Amino acid sequence: MLGIERTHWLEVAPLPGDDTDGHIDTLARFCDPGTIVHVGADAADPETHAQLAGMELQLRGLRTPAGASYRLLPLPQPAPVHARDDGRRLPATYANFLLVNGAVLCPQYGDPADPHALAVLREAFPGRSVVGLSSRALIGQNGSLHCATMQLPAGVLPGAGGGPGAGVGC
């Protein structure tokens, strides 16, 4: 019904700080029909290394409709960010970027990896401006740029009427 010809599915164990049960927008994203950016496995983070290394192996096994391998661009990981109130790990990821018109908005965490994440997204989106935006306040609410711009609950927008589907979309 949706015109989908094929689906790629990744099996990734939950990561520390991920409250989404592995939503793909926190892990890997298509940039064009042949390019995928993904959170890279970082040996310096033993809490996530095995899961992300396994995800990268799965990504390497995926093929385009023409049978070619995808161009894979690993994004760095920021150092773990923890909530001030209870110490839980927060969902800091550069994969939760947002595409807007001619730009890409990239989460930034005041981390040494921030510039590297911007560089990877500039390579992935050569025709777009890549802009970093501080996202520490957003991840404290368990999401980042892409998550925060998804669906809006009914009645949030003025004049939405509150009926079914009202106020949905961005």
Please tell me the distance from the alpha carbon of residue 166 to that of residue 86, in angstroms, as a whole number: 35
Q: What is the pTM of this model?
A: 0.82
The mean pLDDT value for 45-52 works out to 89
- CA–CA–CA angle 95, 82, 40 (5° rounding): 30
Q: Which residue has the higher pLDDT, 157 or 3?
A: 3
Q: Band of the pLDDT at 168, cuts 50, 70, 90?
A: very low
Residue range 66-121, pLDDT digits in tens: 999 999 999 999 998 888 888 888 888 899 898 888 999 999 999 999 999 999 99
Q: CA-CA distance, 168 to 113, in Å (whole number)?
A: 34
- Greater model confidence, 109 or 1: 109
The helix, strand and coil proportions of the chain, stated in percent and rounded to the nearest 5, come to 20, 20, 60
